[in-house]
Chain A
Amino acid sequence: MIRNQFLRSIRTGINSLMLHKLRSMLTTLGVLFGTSSVIAMLAIGEGASYQAQEQIKLLGSQNVILRSVKPPDDPNQGNQQSRVLTYGVTDADLERIEQTFPGVRRVVPVRQLQQEVRYSDRTLNPRVLATRPLYQDVTGRLVWEGRFLTEQDELTLNNVCVLGTEVARYLFPLESALGKRVKVGGNYFVVVGTLAPRMPGGEQQQPAGPEVTGEVFIPYETARKRYGKLQVKLRAGSRDMEEVDLHEVIVEVEHAENVPLVADAAREMMDHFHRKRDYEVVVPLELLARAEETKRIFNIVLGSIAGISLLVGGIGIMNVMLATVTERTREIGIRRALGAKRRHIVTQFLVETVCLSVGGGLMGVALGLLIPWVVEVTADMMTIVTPTAPVLAFGISAGIGVLFGIYPAWRAANMDPVEALRHQ
């Protein structure tokens, strides 16, 4: 019987709501948008932070990276035409790290060359990286075909190269790249291997076409010999020459807990030996921590927005329910006269409010799942809908219904039956 009463009160509630379809629909909108925005924002935030974290992890969470940064142009330098700018991480820095830093397992230098890469009629400008075989171990890159650079290549100054996925795909769309000779600047290199994509779906990130995209790896010593240190950059009206020893030094720390120590030591050393800020120290672990902090702040902001929008939705529902209670004063009087107890009236109106908010919540969940999908398809962004998000959003919206339904229902139940019956 109790179950019967419960089912009937839900049916009656829905019937009453159906009496004013438009009003009921509009009332649910607040909760609908509140719920869907919570889910959508969570999914987008989750996706973005996942991507950021994956990218940081690619740098190696056990690494400390020293990078050369071109210092800002000094206007006092005078003659802007044709001068040699020397900056960045030096060979001396590398040596100091290798010899004096404790707790360091491996150190890998990287030079980046400004060279065009060409195969038959296809050219592009990837990042040409001159590095040592250890690079693969330190960054965890996987070989797709062939092999990575070896010690032998260094010793014999071989003209060999390894292509990143994008480069291999662009230069050799139909055939295997292995054994082919590509031209890097003025020299020919034999392709000995290609690399696997860095993360599943991740290569979509890079802009397509013959822009600076993808990577080509050549042996460190070979590059030293073939191209030297001086690089010429042709720009509109001027010729910049740069001399950079090393573009990047990747320091792999033996134990993860020592990463901050090594990072501090690296900063201190660089600060001591460089007068200009022509370097940066990148610590993926710190970036990761920062990304997590960002995500936390994002979640707090999101939570507040969601809370406010659900609050507004709840107030909207309460407003309408108060109007409904007034409008149906006479009905309340009739029901009371016919034997309805206060709790029956409370239940009746609470059920209606909860139907509104749960209806809004359900539609909100549907919309909230649709939005991330649309974003993913149209904006090429990664989104992640965690299972807790819809459950949470839905639970909150139902809770809102109860919370904001209590007062109107209480008002209805405490009407004087005689007064209510006299109401027009």
Chain B
Amino acid sequence: MTLTSETQSDTHGGPRPSAPGSPLPAAANRADGERPAAELEAVERIYRMGSEEVHALDGVTFQVMPGEYWSVMGASGSGKSTLLNVLGCLDRPTAGRYSLAGRDVNTLSDDELSELRSRKLGFIFQSYNLIPQLDVLENIMVPLFYQDDETEPGEERARALAARMGLADRLGHKPAELSGGQQQRVAIARSLVNDPELILADEATGNLDSQTAAEILDLFDELSREGKTIVFVTHESHVAERASHVLRMRDGRIDDVRIQRAAHTRAGGSS
């Protein structure tokens, strides 16, 4: 599932500088005709602070195909979180077009965006963002609460995910009673409970020690191998190395996109 022709490159080589601001082809010529999970076209996000304008995103174009594992890097303030918010339908682009699972986000109402978030997206945050008064099981199930045709197997699914994350004996605990790593596992389980099209993680290991971070990253590798589509914002290059694609941001623009390996397909590709 290649996206850009220019950076089909060595997996082990360091990040390769490319011409800043070079226009990235929107991969119009996709042979197999598969639908992208997420597609951005000249997306801009401008914050107005009085008379000043901050271009948090300044013409971003790229596609994430199903099964790809993207890692987004860049200096602080380069627009990574803004990009993730747009991808997550929490924020709308000021200009440009963004389609998630084939639907143009700009045309959707607030309710439809919420529906999209509860069905197609999974969020994992740096600070876990669990709801303090809910226990582990309830926290995992929150995205299901907001689906209008909530179905019964939701709880079984949540239990299974919790078990997979090694939280089977913690279901009744409140987030405050868990370690950071455990909380992040709950968050991951929560992001998976609705079987999302796209999993978004903003510095998901930023608050964890390297040992725990490695465990969490292994989990992401595992999810990727299962064919999940992931966009992962990180500061650390060793984290980025695990991804299939590395996207570098600078001043709201895409600085460089590097493809490190082929994406896993849902059918279960090689590792």
Contact = CB atoms under 8 A, between A and B. Distances in A.
Nearest to A341: B114
Interface string B117-128: 111010101000
B131 A335 contact: yes
Contacts of A265: none
A339 B119 CA distance: 8
Contact of A339 (B115, B129, B131, B149): B115
Interface stretch (B58-66, B85-93, B222-230): B85-93
A336 interface: yes
Nearest to A15: B133
B180 to A, nearest CB: 17
Contact of B88 (A4, A337, A341): A337
A330 B133 CA distance: 13
A421 interface: yes
Contacts of B117: 336-339
Nearest to B114: A341
Interface in A295-338: 330-331, 333-338
Contact of B190 (A4, A338, A418): A338
A417 to B, nearest CB: 5
Interface string B122-146: 0101000111111000000011011
Interface in B79-129: 85, 88, 90-91, 110-111, 114-115, 117-119, 121, 123, 125, 129
Contacts of A147: none
Given A331-B131, A337-B123, A418 B90 contact: yes
B133 A338 contact: no
Contacts of B119: 339
A136 interface: no
Contacts of A337: 88, 90, 117, 123, 129
Contact of B129 (A12, A334, A342): A334
- How many chain A residues sit at the interface, stated as a range, is 20 to 34
Nearest to A414: B110
A187 B118 CA distance: 101
A326 to B, nearest CB: 16
A14 to B, nearest CB: 10
A1 interface: yes
A49 B229 CA distance: 77
A339 B150 contact: no
B110 A342 contact: yes
A343 B109 CA distance: 13
B125 A339 contact: no
A338 B143 contact: yes
Contacts of B2: none
Nearest to B142: A338
B147 interface: yes
A337 B117 CA distance: 7
Contact of B149 (A1, A8, A335, A417): A1
A16 interface: yes
A155 interface: no
A417 B111 CA distance: 13
Contacts of B88: 337
B85 A340 contact: no
A339 B146 contact: yes
B190 A341 contact: no
Contacts of A335: 131, 142, 146
Given A338-B146, A338-B190, A339-B146, A421 B110 contact: no
Given A338-B118, A339-B143, 10 more contacts: A1-B149, A4-B150, A336-B114, A337-B88, A338-B123, A339-B115, A340-B146, A341-B146, A418-B85, A421-B125
16 contacts: A1-B150, A5-B150, A16-B133, A19-B132, A334-B130, A336-B90, A336-B114, A337-B123, A339-B114, A339-B118, A339-B143, A340-B146, A341-B111, A342-B111, A344-B114, A417-B91
Interface of A: 1, 4-5, 8, 12, 15-16, 19, 330-331, 333-344, 417-418, 421
Interface of B: 85, 88, 90-91, 110-111, 114-115, 117-119, 121, 123, 125, 129-134, 142-143, 145-147, 149-150, 190, 194
What 5 A-B pairs are tightest by C-beta distance, nearest first? A339-B118, A339-B146, A341-B114, A339-B117, A338-B143
